[in-house]
Amino acid sequence: MIHVEDWAEIRRLHRAEGLSARAVARQLGISRGTVSRALASDRPPKYQRPLKGSAVDAVEPAIRELLKQTPTMPVTVIAERIGWERGLTILRERVRELRPAYLPVDPVSRTVYQPGELAQCDLWFPAVDIPLGYGQSGRPPVLVIVSGYSRVITARMLPSRQTGDLIDGHWRLLAHGWGAVPKTLVWDNEPGVGKGKLASEFAAFAGLLAVKIHLCRPRDPEAKGLVERANGYLETSFLPGRVFTGPDDFNNQLAAWLQIANRRRHRSIDAHPIDRWEADRAAMLTVPPVTPPHWWRFHTRIGRDHYIRVDTNDYSVHPRAIGRTITVWADNEEVTAIAGEEIVARHTRCWARHQSLTDPDHAAAADLLRGEVIHKQAARVTDTPGRGSLS
C-alpha cells in the first residue's frame, strides 16, 4: 500500500502536470498498476486490518431472538439464556450494538411555545454554603421558573422543599414577581409537588390559580430542558465568585442579576427574553384577587409549654393562649399564631434547624403569670387552718 503523500503526488502529476500513467510510474519508480489504482480512487489510501471473527458471532442469532422478544433484557440474563461462559465485556459490547434495532423509537420533538402557554419549574441546589443563623449553614433549594415563550427566568431561594414552602415560593414569584400566571406549570416528580399524582395542597393551589400542573414522565429530562439549562446557567454565570451573608442576601443578589440575565440574547429564539416578555405576560392568566394564602396552616391546642413547631423549629406563643386552640400561619418569611381575632405570636421564619425561638415579651409574660400562680399558692397555704406562720 502506498503512502498518502505518494497518492497525492500521483494525482497531482497526472491531473496538474498532464503526465500519463506510464510517465508517472517511470518518474516515481513505481508500477503502473499502483498508479492506475491511485488514479481510480478519489479517497486516500487507508490501511485496514483484516477483520477477525468474534466468539460472539456464533451466538448472535440467539441474542437477536432474545432481544426481539424482550428488547430491555439485561446482558447478564442474556448470558445465562445463551449459556455464555466467557467474559461479559465483549458480549456487552455486541448487545449494545444490537439493542437499538429492537427498541421502540422515541424521538424528541422540537417544541414551539405560544405566548402565555407554559413555564417549566425545577429546584436548583447551589453548590455554596449559605449562613442560616445560629452558627449553622446549609444549601437550601432555589425554585427556578422559566417561561416557555419568552425564556424569562425568575428564581428564589426557599427554606425547604416541602409543599408549603414550594407553594409560597410560587406565589411570590408569579403573583408578586410576574403579576401573571402561565396556563401550565411543568414539574418533574418532586415529592412536594406530587409523584404521579399532585399532592392535595398543590392541587388546591392549582385550583386557586386555575392552572394545569403537568407532571413529567420519570427519566424524561427533555420534557423540561428549558429549566434544566437555566439551572446550569445559574451555576456557571451567577454563582462563581459570589459570597452571601444569608438567604435574604442571596435572593437580593439573584434578583439583581436576573434583571441583567433576562436582557441577554437567547440563542434558541434569537431574541432578548425581555423583548418578548410583554406579549408573553399579556397572554397569561391574571392573578386571582385574593389575599396571599398561607399554605403552612394548621390548628393546635397550646399547652403549658407555650410553643408551636413549624418545620423543625419551635416558636413561642403568648402564655395567655394556654389552653386555647390557635391557628398557625407560616410562609417563607414569617410564622404567625392567632387565637380568635388576636395575634398571640409573630416570628421571623428561622432557616436554621432545631432551634427554640422565644419572644422576650412572651418570656416576661410567662414569668409574671408564673409569679402570680406561686403567690396564690402561697396565699392558699397561709390561709389553711393550722398552716399559718409560727408566733
Lookup: cell for 81: 439464556
* Res. 390: pLDDT tops 60: no
Q: Return the pLDDT at 314.
A: 96
In this prediction, residue 24 carries a pLDDT of 87
Is the pLDDT confidence value at 258 over 50? Answer: yes
How far apart CA 318 and CA 366 sit, in angstroms, is 8
Least confident of 74-88, 258-272, 322-336, 372-386: 372-386
The string of pLDDT tens digits covering residues 12-69 is 888 888 889 899 889 888 888 888 888 888 777 776 666 667 889 999 999 999 999 9
Confidence of residue 99 (pLDDT cuts 50, 70, 90): very high
- Give percent of the chain with pLDDT exceeding 90: 64
Predicted TM-score of the model (pTM): 0.69
Asked if residue 318 lies in contact with residue 306, where contact means CB atoms within 8 angstroms, the answer is yes
Task: Kindly give, in sequence order, each residue whose CB lies less than 8 Å from that of residue 272, ignoring residues fewer than 6 positions away.
Answer: 262, 263, 264, 265, 266
Q: What letter does residue 12 receive in the DSSP assignment?
A: H
In contact, 176 and 157? CB cutoff 8 Å: no
- Angle at 34 (CA atoms; ends 45, 40), nearest 5 degrees: 65
Q: What is the pLDDT of residues 128-164, one digit of tens each?
A: 999 999 999 999 999 999 999 999 999 999 999 999 9
- Mean of the per-residue pLDDT values of the chain: 89
Do residues 214 and 184 lie in contact, with contact meaning Cβ atoms separated by under 8 Å? yes
